[in-house]
Amino acid sequence: MGGEDSRVNTLVTGAAGFIGYHVAEHLLSEGHSVVGVDNLNAYHDRRLKRARLARLMRHNRFEAVRLDLAGRRATEALFESRKFDVVIHMAAQAGVRHSIDHPHIFVESNISAFLNVLEGCRRTRVRHLIYASSSSVYGDTRTPCLEANRCDSPLSLYAATKRSNELMAHSYTHLFELPTTGLRFFTVYGPWGRPDMAPYRFAHAIDTGKRIYIYNYGRARRDFTYVDDAVEAVLRLTVSEPSGCRLFNVGNACPVELMQFLHTLEAAMGKRARRHFLPAQKGDVAATHADVEELFRAIEYRPSTPLSVGVARFVAWYESQNRSQHAAAARSL
């Protein structure tokens, strides 16, 4: 992806979030203009979100807009005031367990906001809408997960909102000929990752000597997908010819038990974790495993970063962040 002829004016929602930040950073590095929208909510540390945004704002082709996409009028004004070629909708309220205790936030952020984005896209004739779905839509299905599988038994409200997004996108493609592509991401991890996800939580606990709570007694299997692989899929789809309503798995297609992930993390950090095993939590699935043949047929790409390589890169970033924070604290004394 690159070159003068391929430059597009792109809206990236959730630009201060994990995947959204990486997508925007890669687009900017290739010469594209990006408007990055985020509401900077307090679901996880705003300092991390602001640090991501600060890195994006080093590019003169980046414009940051603080906006809650659940607000209909403000979202309408955003789309009407600009002419986006492509919209990459990564904004969402994340967290399977968080959705159990805070359901209304998920409906506002994941359904109402998505409707406003769909409306903005169809009214301004956006060429292509790419949006984040989730492997959680599969529920506790037989693996590997194929896009053709039925997805009508979500185990959490978060999963239900993501499946709702897919159905809403299908209706807008059918009614208004809006090309849409939904990406079912499988446990994306890497530098600048969210503090509520297992890689960050485990790394922080190992680093500080705190106990790690391991659910389902460590038997859960996850298809850990390195963030650069997920972003590469997004970028290739951005410049591909959009067609109808599509859904793709984005995963490493190589699930591992949570304990194997923990062992890899311990090796990279050179420390052992203090472990406490617990039963599975409500809303969690036993295993995820992506079949990515549909993705490969569409863009000739499969995520392939080995777990050991991805974890080492994540740990290098985590330790660098810690050094930066300690230095900043020392300067403030």
Q: Are strands 221-222 and 256-257 parallel, antiparallel or unpaired?
A: antiparallel
Q: In the chain, which ranges are E strands?
A: 9-13, 33-38, 62-66, 86-89, 128-134, 180-185, 188-189, 211-214, 221-222, 225-226, 245-250, 256-257, 274-277
| Residue keyed to tokens 């790409």 | 301
> 3-state DSSP: the chain helix, strand, coil percent, rounded to 5?
50, 15, 35
DSSP letters of 71-127?
-HHHHHHHHHHS--SEEEE------HHHHHH-HHHHIIIIIIHHHHHHHHHHHTT-S
| Residue keyed to tokens 């004394």 | 333
Residue 137 near residue 184, CB atoms below 8 Å: yes
- Residues annotated as part of the active site: 158
Residue 86 near residue 238, CB atoms below 8 Å: yes
Q: Which two structure tokens, joined as six digits, stand for 229?
A: 């692989």
Angle between helical axes of 258-269 and 307-332 (0-180°, round to 10): 50
DSSP letters of 222-236?
E--EEHHHHHHHHHH
Q: Is 269 helix (H, G, I), strand (E, B) or coil?
A: helix
Residue 135 near residue 192, CB atoms below 8 Å: no
Q: Which two structure tokens, joined as six digits, stand for 193?
A: 């990752």
| Cα(71)–Cα(89) distance, integer angstroms | 15
